[in-house]
Amino acid sequence: MSRVLIVVGAVLLALPGAALAQTKGKGIRLWNLTSATITEFQLSPAGKNAWGPNQTLNDKDKEVDHDERLRINGVEPGRYDAKVGYSGAKQCFVRDIEIKADAVFSVSDKDLKDCNK
């Protein structure tokens, strides 16, 4: 009987943490609405040119297909510029993206500026 109570007590102690984990948000995510697969995605505070790591490395296949979402790590809510790379060395910029906590932001073809070919 005491062994059952110990197990039940342990489960009850674990529940608040499990409940807390379920209420935690999904984090910041990029939604690729461009017409191509993104192979590089870096963020910098708006206007700073201080580029962070390639966020596509967070994806299991290291790229973000059209209509796929990518979890963004190590970024606080705020305004950012993005460097967006595609296969074939094409690279574009997206300026002044508003990133909110636990929210999805998107990048589409019309957002891409200063692209090289």
Q: Give the model confidence (pLDDT) of 105-114 as tens digits.
A: 999 999 999 9
Per-residue pLDDT of 42-70, as tens digits, reads 999 999 999 999 999 999 999 999 999 99
Q: Looking at residue 46, what is its pLDDT?
A: 98
The reply to whether 107 falls in a domain is: yes
Distance CA 70, CA 92 (A): 18
Q: Which domain holds residue 57?
A: 26-111
Q: Is pLDDT above 70 for 3? A: no
The reply to whether 35 falls in a domain is: yes
The reply to whether 21 falls in a domain is: no
Do strands 104-108 and 28-33 pair parallel, antiparallel, or not at all (unpaired)? parallel
The reply to whether 8 falls in a domain is: no
CATH of the domain at 102: 2.60.40
Q: Is pLDDT above 60 for 7? A: no
In this structure, the number of other CB atoms found within 10 A of the CB of residue 34 comes to 20
Q: Looking at residue 25, what is its pLDDT?
A: 79
pTM given for the model: 0.78
